[in-house]
Amino acid sequence: MSTGFFGNLAPIPYEGSESRNPLAYRFYNPDELVMGKRMEEHLRVAVCYWHTFCWQGNDPFGGATFERPWFGDGMSMAKMKADVAFEMFSLLGVPYFSFHDLDIRPEGETFAESAYRLHAMADYFQQKMEETGVGLLWGTANLFSQRRFMAGASTNPDPNVFAYAAATVKHCMDVTHQLKGANYVLWGGREGYETLLNTDLRRELDQYGRFLNLVVEHKHKLGFTGTILIEPKPQEPSKHQYDFDVATVYGFLKRYGLENEVKVNIEVGHAVLAGHTFEHEVALANALDIFGSIDANRNDYQSGWDTDQFPNNVPEMALAYYYILQGGGFKNGGTNFDSKLRRQSLDPEDLLIGHIGGMDTCARALKSAAKMLEDKALSQVLEKRYAGWNETEAQAMLKGERSLEEIAAYVTEQNLHPQARSGKQELLENIVNRYV
């Protein structure tokens, strides 16, 4: 049943690349086969609850610009928000959504009251999910907004805050399990420091490691079959965050024995803030066997902070999907639109238009990536570049069958005098441009 927020709009249709209808897909066709699989199953698109339904349009220099009928306290407002959310999911035809606990329920005066409200809203969500067929890509706990978390959650110097955060995650995991979520995400927005002068790094890292082990232990106790994900970000809101990038997270997981239990959710904007490309983070996560899921968005590269704009850069997303497909595609993960409108985009239809454009961008990128893989457009050049490592002596060195002395003797005996070879970067860049 329509809430009236979007008027009397019909579900967003696919009209093809020639369409000029802003409320139609030009490239996102859920049933189109790409490498033998439906596009919807490849992309696994999710709408995030926080930016889409909770953000009021404020920034550091100005207050709220959005006026939504569900803004306010109380469970009735939370249920109205859910009604509009699921109407929007259905209009877009997306298979998934994602949320924080604080997004879907009002804060109670006590922890028990907040937990009760969370579970009550989970029951309401379950009914909505059954009615619409929309699934949960992942749930998570907001452990960064409330004042108590200003010095961190699991890394807080106060053990009572650690306990409060652990209890919050416990209930959020229970709800995610109830709603058959595909993943559970932890984002350490305050898990870091502002100054080393009041920070014990070893202690805080050990606290974080113990916290994550508690999460994994509870996952197995619940029988939750989804994936536990960490979302890397180098800074903002903390000056320095412990989950700086994919490589840092992997080192953390190895230190605390969690590399086989936890994977990463990689965001475009966070990768850029860390000084990397998005495709670098995806490719590295695949190389380290910890790739899980992605947040699709983009930053304003002039601003220098995390602006969470809708993705519209096809080449950027195409290279990311290239490495995702090369690694076997998403398993439990998907494409979560951690994206928000600009403060001046006030109309209800803007919420739909932003997601339509983002989904079309990802659809074009996916098709370009798949075609590059099928044509071996990049892999043939790569195979040729590393071909020498297939030879017997090279394999012997890699397998530990040669000592340093033996390698030195081989170089002398064969009178090796290797010459530099072109890396063909411009050729490869030109090849990519043919596909995007």
- Residue 317 tokens, joined: 């997303």
Answer for the pair 395, 389: CB distance below 8 angstroms, yes or no.
Answer: yes
Answer for the pair 158, 207: CB distance below 8 angstroms, yes or no.
Answer: no
- Residue 100 tokens, joined: 């924080």
- Residue 353 tokens, joined: 């238009």
What's the number of CA atoms in the CB half-sphere (13 Å) around residue 255? 14
Alpha-carbon gap, residue 79 to 67, rounded angstroms: 17
Q: Which of helix, strand or coil describes residue 84? A: helix
Residue 300 burial (CB count, 10 A): 13
Considering 42, 83, 101, 103, which one is annotated as catalytic? 103
Considering 42, 51, 100, 355, which one is annotated as catalytic? 100
Give start and end residues of each alpha helix (H) in 44-158. Answer: 49, 75-92, 101-104, 111-132
Torsion of CA 236, 345, 136, 250, to 10 degrees: -20
Closest among 246, 170, 74, 322 to 254, alpha carbons compared: 246
Angle (CA) 27 30 34, round 5°: 80
Answer for the pair 70, 84: CB distance below 8 angstroms, yes or no.
Answer: yes
Examine the residue annotation and report whether 100 is marked as an active-site residue of this protein.
yes
Give start and end residues of each alpha helix (H) in 236-385. Answer: 246-255, 268-273, 278-287, 314-326, 348-374, 379-385
Whole-number CA gyration radius for the chain = 24
Check whether the bond before 237 is cis (ω within 30° of 0).
yes
Alpha carbon distances (Å) from 180 to 141, 293, 418:
16, 17, 56
Q: In terms of C-beta density within 10 A (0-12 exposed, 13-18 middle, 19 or more buried), how is residue 241 classed? A: buried
Strand partners, 37: 34
Closest among 81, 97, 78 to 89, alpha carbons compared: 97
Q: Tokens 């996952």 label which residue?
A: 219
Q: Which of helix, strand or coil describes residue 29? A: coil
Closest among 215, 117, 199 to 165, alpha carbons compared: 215
End-to-end CA distance of the chain: 40
What residues are annotated to the active site?
100, 103
